[in-house]
């Protein structure tokens, strides 16, 4: 991958309780402020995507659900790979995950589709409007390989069986935007309409975070904690159940619309930013902790 030059300055972010002077990245009307002075932010090359949303890191590269470009893509150090042909079934890829075998799954909130790209390269819609889905958002794979998908219009999480059959898994969740399992088999669900994160374990639902100032966009589980993006406040949080969310990154201006998040094997965090979805503009950031 290639990287753009960055301008670094210093700023006191008193509004989020930062007492040190972290580096500030300024980029065409936007700012990015990491919470810790030693953290480093880089903007990845601007080609290879339009307006990125969901992200997934795997050893072979960075998978990008390109909402503006209508494609699932793979970034590697050499080039960007388009993983399927353009199709009317895919208009705005939303979230992307993989199963234990390496098969990829992604959603489309415009068409209501759920898609699979197999390890062998086969591309297929496994469920969609014909099965009653309308606006697919968050997606997760159970430890046993079952697909769960949230529908923001139907306020429901559905389960997709091996033959593509769709059944209800949970109801009355306003907008199940993102979902992820932890090492205990517990399921976290981010509802960014009611500003809630739920946790399901042993068939019991719990509200683990409810804050009117935090609207969770994407959640992933890493090293015993959730990483939470908030596209309304323009922040990235680290959240451990029972504790207050910790701000890791604050964004302003046209960089405020933070979307997806993923982590590589060294703990480096990748984030997608949509500066202008209508005109298909955005960035992918890389946050390297100190």
pLDDT tens series, the chain, 290 aa:
333 333 223 232 333 333 444 567 777 778 999 999 899 999 876 667 888 999 999 999 999 999 999 999 998 877 888 889 889 999 999 999 999 999 999 999 999 999 999 999 999 999 999 999 999 999 999 988 899 999 999 999 999 998 889 999 999 999 999 999 999 999 999 999 999 999 999 999 999 999 999 999 999 999 999 999 999 999 999 999 999 999 999 999 988 999 999 999 999 999 999 988 788 888 899 999 98
Query: Which pLDDT value is given to residue 46?
Result: 66
- Indicate whether 139 belongs to any domain: yes
Sign of the Cα torsion 18, 19, 20, 23 reads positive
- Indicate whether 1 belongs to any domain: no
Distance CA 7, CA 28 (A): 11
- Indicate whether 225 belongs to any domain: yes
The size of the chain, in residues, is 290
Q: Residue holding tokens 């606006």?
A: 135
The number of folded domains in the chain is 1
**CATH assignment of the domain containing 126:** 2.120.10.30
- Indicate whether 154 belongs to any domain: yes
Q: Are 241 and 225 in contact (CB under 8 A)?
A: no
Helix (H, G, I), strand (E, B) or coil at 131: helix
Query: Which pLDDT value is given to residue 19?
Result: 42
The partner residues of 106 in beta bridges, in order of sequence, read 96, 115
Token pair, residue 201, equals 């374990």
Domain extent, residue 101, equals 7-288
Query: Which pLDDT value is given to residue 95?
Result: 98
Query: Which pLDDT value is given to residue 241?
Result: 94
- Indicate whether 2 belongs to any domain: no
Query: Which pLDDT value is given to residue 115?
Result: 97
Sign of the Cα torsion 114, 276, 246, 36 reads positive
Please count the other Cβ atoms lying within 10 Å of the Cβ belonging to residue 99: 17
Helix (H, G, I), strand (E, B) or coil at 256: coil
């Amino acid at each position: 991958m290639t990287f753009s030059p960055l301008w670094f300055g210093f700023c006191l972010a008193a509004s989020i309780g930062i007492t040190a002077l972290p580096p500030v990245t300024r980029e065409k009307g936007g700012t990015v402020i990491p919470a810790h002075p030693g953290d480093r932010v880089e903007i990845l090359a601007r080609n290879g995507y339009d307006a990125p949303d969901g992200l997934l890191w795997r050893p072979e590269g960075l998978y990008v659900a390109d909402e503006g470009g209508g494609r699932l893509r793979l970034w590697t150090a050499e080039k960007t790979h388009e993983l399927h042909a353009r199709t009317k079934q895919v208009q705005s890829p939303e979230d992307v995950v993989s199963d234990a075998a390496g098969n990829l799954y992604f959603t489309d909130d415009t068409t209501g589709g759920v898609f699979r790209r197999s390890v062998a390269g086969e591309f297929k819609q496994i469920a969609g409007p014909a099965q009653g889905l309308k606006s697919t958002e968050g997606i997760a794979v159970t430890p046993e390989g079952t697909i769960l998908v949230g529908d923001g219009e139907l306020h429901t999480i559905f389960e997709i069986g091996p033959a593509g059959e769709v059944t209800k898994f949970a109801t009355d969740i306003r907008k199940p935007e993102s979902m992820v399992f932890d090492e205990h088999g517990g399921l976290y669900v981010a509802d960014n309409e009611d500003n809630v994160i739920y946790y399901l374990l042993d068939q019991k639902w719990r509200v683990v975070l409810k804050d009117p100032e935090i609207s969770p966009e994407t959640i992933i589980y890493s090293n015993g904690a959730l990483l939470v993006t908030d596209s309304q406040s323009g922040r990235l949080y680290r959240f451990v159940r029972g504790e207050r969310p910790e701000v890791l990154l604050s964004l302003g201006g046209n960089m405020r619309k933070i979307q997806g998040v993923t982590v590589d094997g060294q703990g480096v965090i990748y984030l997608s930013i949509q500066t202008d979805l209508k005109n298909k503009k955005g960035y992918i950031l890389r946050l390297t902790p100190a």
